[in-house]
Amino acid sequence: MLELTGLTAGYHGGTVLHGLDLSVPAGTVHAVVGHNGAGKTTLVHTVAGLMRPSAGTVRLDGRDLTGLPAHRIARAGIGLVPQGRRVFAGLTVDEHLRLSYRPPRRGDPERPGVWTPARVTELLPRLGERRGNRGAELSGGEQQMLALARALLGSPRLLLLDEPTEGLAPALVRQVHGLVATLAGEGIAVLLVSPSPAQAVESAGALTVLTSGRATLRMDGADARADGSALHAALELATTAV
């Protein structure tokens, strides 16, 4: 279970996240929807330890991780799939998998599942087929799978997914949401951020609209799927926009 309380963060120019409270129980997907510039990546980076919050706390299963460096946060069980995938153009799929494999060490908190390169390629068979290809030779969808594989190889308790379906064809978008649901089914907590309400609600158990770094709407995922009007209103979109 991830618990954020009063999370506040920003850059030299000022505050971007304004006291966000949010929780993601194990085995559930929480979607954060917001326009470009709303602070989604700032949120994800702050939870992952790439930025230090100026106030508030980050807790994972009761353990206070606030302000720890990224490598300690990763060891505590938080895996990041960054916006834009960030795969290495010159490294092969196999090299990515071997470099990312970080089995839990003694003293690390327990994991919902331990991921090895073999298990990851079982879940994502396309990566097995592309084992010898370099990052630059992969399609956008394959790069996204590789970015997900890298995060899984740390055997996370919580996955942070920053716009995982950006630029993907509809069939791949569905595949990514299917994978997200599968991973949540294994007990992983998932925090997914997206500018697109249609893509965010698909696998979400709960949903937060982020507007200029503040939560402006909370909804149950099933309610949002049944009736998107409140969601669209919060995002100031026409109901026909999705």
Ligand X SMILES: Nc1ncnc2c1ncn2[C@@H]1O[C@H](COP(=O)(O)OP(=O)(O)O)[C@@H](O)[C@H]1O
Q: Where on the chain is the footprint of ligand X (CB under 6 A)?
A: 11, 13, 16, 34, 36-42
Rounded least distance, CB 40 to Mg ion, Å: 5
Q: Which is nearer to ligand X, 37 or 132 (CB)?
A: 37
Name which of 26 and 55 has its Cβ closer to ligand X. 55
Smallest separation, CB 26 to ligand X (Å)? 25
Whether residue 154 contacts residue 102, with contact meaning beta carbons closer than 8 Å, is answered with yes
Which value, to the nearest 10 degrees, does the dihedral of the CA atoms of residues 17, 210, 206, 195 take? Answer: -120
- Which range of residues in 61-69, 78-86, 204-212, 215-223 is near Mg ion by CB under 5 A? 78-86
What is d(CA 151, CA 156) in angstroms, rounded to the nearest whole number?
Answer: 7
Binders of Mg ion: how many residues, by CB under 5 A? 3
Q: Which entry of Mg ion, ligand X, none binds 39, CB below 5 to 8 A by partner kind?
A: ligand X
Output 87 or 193, the one with its CB closest to ligand X. 193
Among ligand X, Mg ion, none, what binds residue 56 when CB lies within 5 to 8 Å by partner kind? none
The footprint of Mg ion on residues 25-44 (CB under 5 A) is: 40-41
User: Are residues 16 and 9 in contact, defined by beta-carbon separation less than 8 angstroms?
Assistant: yes
Residue 208 interacting with Mg ion (CB under 5 A): no
Nearest distance in Å: CB 35, Mg ion: 10
Among positions 39-68, residues that touch Mg ion (CB under 5 A) are: 40-41
Residues of this chain that interact with Mg ion (CB under 5 A) are 40-41, 83
